[in-house]
Amino acid sequence: MQQRVRKIVIVGGGTAGWMAATTIARLSKGVGFDIELVESMEIGTVGVGEATIPPISEFNRSMQIDENDFMRATQASIKLGIEFVDWTRHDHSYIHPFGWYGVPMHGIYFHHFWLRHLAQGGTIPADAFCSNIMACRQNRFGKLQPDDRLPIPPLAYAYHFDAGLYALYLRKLAEADGVKRTEGKIVSVQQDGESGFIESVTLEDGRVVAGDLFIDCSGFRGLLIEQTLHAGYEDWSHWLPCDRAMAVPCERTATTTPYTRSTAREAGWQWRIPLQHRTGNGYVYCSEFMSDDEAASKLLERLDGKALGTPRPLRFKGGRRKVVWKKNVLSVGLASGFLEPLESTSIHLIQSMCARFVFMFPGDGFNPATIDRFNRLAREELEEIRDLLVLHYTATERDDTPFWRHCRAIKKPESLAQAWEMYESSGDIIIEGGVLFKEPSWFAIMHGQGLKPRSYHPFANIPSDAELQRRFDLMAGDVLKRVATFPTHDEWIRANCPAPPLAMKAM
Ligand SMILES: Cc1cc2nc3c(=O)[nH]c(=O)nc-3n(C[C@H](O)[C@H](O)[C@H](O)COP(=O)(O)OP(=O)(O)OC[C@H]3O[C@@H](n4cnc5c(N)ncnc54)[C@H](O)[C@@H]3O)c2cc1C
């Protein structure tokens, strides 16, 4: 256990590998680690993972990444939220925004006041109080002007980007910080006979790469954490039945929408991710209810531009690695577990795992208590996201296909059942410290998926009817005023970060 870390080996050069390399290299400058990343072009990367969530701006800030430069280099667009189409029922859509609804009053969340408004027969939709949603609906984006005095918060946003270009962008940063890249396929792994710690990996051509600490970013295969250390996998497919995806890009449309779209389909759902040079698409489905050929042909039928290639199949099992850190191996990215991309959380999990690892870095050795705590935090983080995903599938009126009837019968995790019951009985959304998804996310999805609270917080009755109406008019008016000052999303991109034209290759 007492093994001072000097040499760090990162296995894999996808988004996880290069994010880990950039984070550790940039934040550890001055410590003098020797960092080597091994990747195999022959194996390649998963090639998807193009929608993100707002904490990615913290990553950019801490890595000193210039936003415009990064957006140009990765053909990126802005993401203000996700539109969920046909999830609740056919011909229905709602947006899960990244920003807040209204402002909290009398010490409680805004949504309680809106529930009162509804209970009194009011008809103003909750969306009217959220600038992110209104900006999505009008395809606008902008940042606060220095003289902006409106009391509503600025737009919270993330990005859509080209996964391949993103890995390349991070690679340049990491290499500039001294990370050594080694191209080659790992064919065997050597362990210490007594402790089981990984000592080195051997490449196909016989080269040996030794290290003190190994970061397994080898994707679904989990080369070190699973194939070598047998950490174990907890299968969550009884909660999240989708296990396949078909992915294909298509030509871009005239308008670059500032949000991801997720459309519920007969046996899963379809994503649409608008980038500057193309649109990314995929059908996530459950193999028990749909064949690969059918998924591919349904996806191609439903693109809004000409397909740029043939659909590429991907297989996965929703769940988590039982321990993400074992001995001297930390698994990051797909090697650490996978939750389908319904809420675009995987890249965030890479970011948060790397940040936490830096924080809990093994200094003089690998302390079992630190490793246990790390694994517990990773589990809790994933369970919260899992609950939000299961909510989408189980709070639905849809029963029009065997897949949706199967979803409606899913027995919810206890933690979700509790959150659901609290919201339905009293409109309460209780957010614990440190969780990723805050009140507006839970409200957007619970309300959007059709859950109806029987009551609301008693403090929401404090303002008189006239006073509540006055505040509502003011807030909804401010949202409209704010959004009207923003340029369209395309105008904003043209003014700030237009990407160079790229020759489009088929996938
Ligand atoms: C269908 C789908 C859609 C997704 N959409 C999103 C999304 O919208 N948003 C989001 O946040 N996330 C999304 N994700 C997740 C996201 O794609 C991943 O989290 C992200 O790409 C990180 O992948 P990775 O680097 O862990 O693995 P990979 O990209 O698979 O990289 C693995 C690396 O390991 C290397 N490797 C493997 N074996 C060896 C070996 N023997 N020798 C040498 N090198 C080896 C490979 O060459 C490669 O470089 C999606 C995932 C799927 C499956």
For residue range 385-420, list pLDDT tens digits in order.
999 999 999 999 999 999 999 999 999 999 999 999
Buried/exposed 133-149: b ≥16 CB within 10 Å, e otherwise: bbbbeebbbbeeeeeee
In eight-state DSSP terms, residue 270 is E
What are φ and ψ of residue 254, in 5° steps? -60, -35
At residue 146, does pLDDT exceed 80?
A: no
Is residue 347 lining ligand 1, measured as CB closer than 6 Å?
yes
CA angle 106, 109, 111 (to 5 degrees): 120
Mean pLDDT of 25-33: 92
CA angle 472, 476, 478 (to 5 degrees): 115
The rounded Å distance from CA 220 to ligand 1 centre is 7
**Shortest-distance Cα residue to atom 50 of ligand 1:** 49
Q: Locate 269 and state its tokens.
A: 């759902």
Could you tell me if 446 and 420 are in contact, meaning their C-beta atoms sit under 8 angstroms apart?
yes
User: Tokens 């910080």 sit at which residue?
Assistant: 177
**Shortest-distance Cα residue to atom 41 of ligand 1:** 186
Could you tell me if 368 and 352 are in contact, meaning their C-beta atoms sit under 8 angstroms apart?
no
What is the reported pLDDT for 127? Answer: 98
At residue 506, does pLDDT exceed 60?
A: no
Question: Comparing C-alpha atoms, which of 114, 150, 130 is closest to residue 468?
Answer: 114
Q: At what angle do helices 15-27 and 163-176 cross, to 10 degrees?
A: 30
- Per DSSP, the chain holds a count of helices (H) and strands (E) of 14, 21
Taking the C-alpha atoms of residue 478 and residue 476, their distance in angstroms, rounded to an integer, is 5
The rounded Å distance from CA 272 to ligand 1 centre is 19
Is residue 314 lining ligand 1, measured as CB closer than 6 Å?
yes
Question: Comparing C-alpha atoms, which of 157, 156, 136 is closest to residue 483?
Answer: 136
The rounded Å distance from CA 392 to ligand 1 centre is 24
Q: Active site residue: 79, 298, 327, 412, which one?
A: 79
What is the reported pLDDT for 503? Answer: 64
Q: Locate 500 and state its tokens.
A: 């160079």
Outline where 409-461 has alpha helix (H).
414-426, 439-448
Mean pLDDT of 288-309: 98
Mean pLDDT of 76-93: 98
Taking the C-alpha atoms of residue 90 and residue 431, their distance in angstroms, rounded to an integer, is 31
Q: What is the pTM of this model?
A: 0.96
pLDDT digits 0-9 by tens, 352-393:
999 999 999 998 889 999 999 999 999 999 999 999 999 999
Is residue 167 lining ligand 1, measured as CB closer than 6 Å?
no
Taking the C-alpha atoms of residue 223 and residue 358, their distance in angstroms, rounded to an integer, is 22
At residue 68, does pLDDT exceed 60?
A: yes
Is residue 180 lining ligand 1, measured as CB closer than 6 Å?
no
CB atoms within 10 A of CB 263: 16
Taking the C-alpha atoms of residue 81 and residue 1, their distance in angstroms, rounded to an integer, is 44
- Mean pLDDT across the chain: 96
Integer-rounded Cα Rg, in Å, for the chain is 23
Could you tell me if 427 and 111 are in contact, meaning their C-beta atoms sit under 8 angstroms apart?
yes
What is the rounded (10 degree) CA torsion for 80, 83, 84, 86?
170
Percent of the chain with pLDDT over 70: 98
Confidence band for 74, pLDDT divided at 50, 70 and 90: very high
Taking the C-alpha atoms of residue 4 and residue 65, their distance in angstroms, rounded to an integer, is 31
Tell me, yes or no, if 79 is annotated catalytic. Answer: yes
The rounded Å distance from CA 407 to ligand 1 centre is 27
Confidence band for 130, pLDDT divided at 50, 70 and 90: very high
CA angle 280, 281, 282 (to 5 degrees): 135
The rounded Å distance from CA 168 to ligand 1 centre is 14
Give the SS3 label for residue 80.
coil
What is the reported pLDDT for 434? Answer: 86
User: Tokens 């459309």 sit at which residue?
Assistant: 263
What is the reported pLDDT for 501? Answer: 87
What residues form DSSP beta bridges with 265? 268
Q: Which residues contact 192 (CB under 8 A, 6 or more apart)?
A: 198, 199
Mean pLDDT of 222-237: 98
User: Tokens 């999805």 sit at which residue?
Assistant: 445
Q: Which has the higher per-residue pLDDT, 150 or 199?
A: 199
At residue 3, does pLDDT exceed 70?
A: no
What is the reported pLDDT for 504? Answer: 58
Q: At what angle do helices 439-448 and 368-394 cross, to 10 degrees?
A: 30
At residue 507, does pLDDT exceed 70?
A: no
At residue 4, does pLDDT exceed 80?
A: yes
pLDDT digits 0-9 by tens, 462-472:
999 999 999 99
CA angle 45, 46, 52 (to 5 degrees): 110
Is residue 51 lining ligand 1, measured as CB closer than 6 Å?
yes
At residue 2, does pLDDT exceed 80?
A: no
CB atoms within 10 A of CB 343: 22
